[in-house]
Structure 1
Amino acid sequence: MTASEYDAELDARGLFCPEPVMMLHNRINDVEPGGVLRVVATDPSTTRDIPRFCQFLGHELLSQNESDELFIYLIRRGQ
């Protein structure tokens, strides 16, 4: 995944619920509507929390992957 695939990044490694989603709530506002935020986390609860966050707040979860105990998400900011 290259930096050209996203507009901003949130590194939530080492943080535990609810911190990653709280940080995501703030960081997504730094991205223009239609822009893409990459989130990297180590907390397995993000596999449940981030999709729900996107669903409830109208953002599009473009991808969700796990690699070497990292959970990586690409989120397109909604309006």
Structure 2
Amino acid sequence: FMQEPHELHWKATKQILHYVRGTYADGIHYHGGVDIDLIGFTDSDWAGDLDHRKSTSGYSFSLSSGPISWSSKKQN
């Protein structure tokens, strides 16, 4: 990419910059006077997938009622 940039790379770069310009104000905003609570949940299920006998685990973290991180994975 860096050694041989092509028109496709330039188009992708312009698309990214256009997206960033249009969404720079988006995000999670916190204001003073409001309690900021970090809440996390985890769960797992050992071999709960009856067809393949795979385990599943997951987690979710929220900050002031807004999800900030989450994941769910099935064992390989």
Taking structure 1 as the reference length, the TM-score comes to 0.20
- Greater fraction helix: 1
Which gives a bigger RCO, structure 1 or 2 (Cα 8 Å, sep 6+)? 1
Larger radius of gyration: 2
Taking structure 2 as the reference length, the TM-score comes to 0.21
- Greater fraction strand: 2
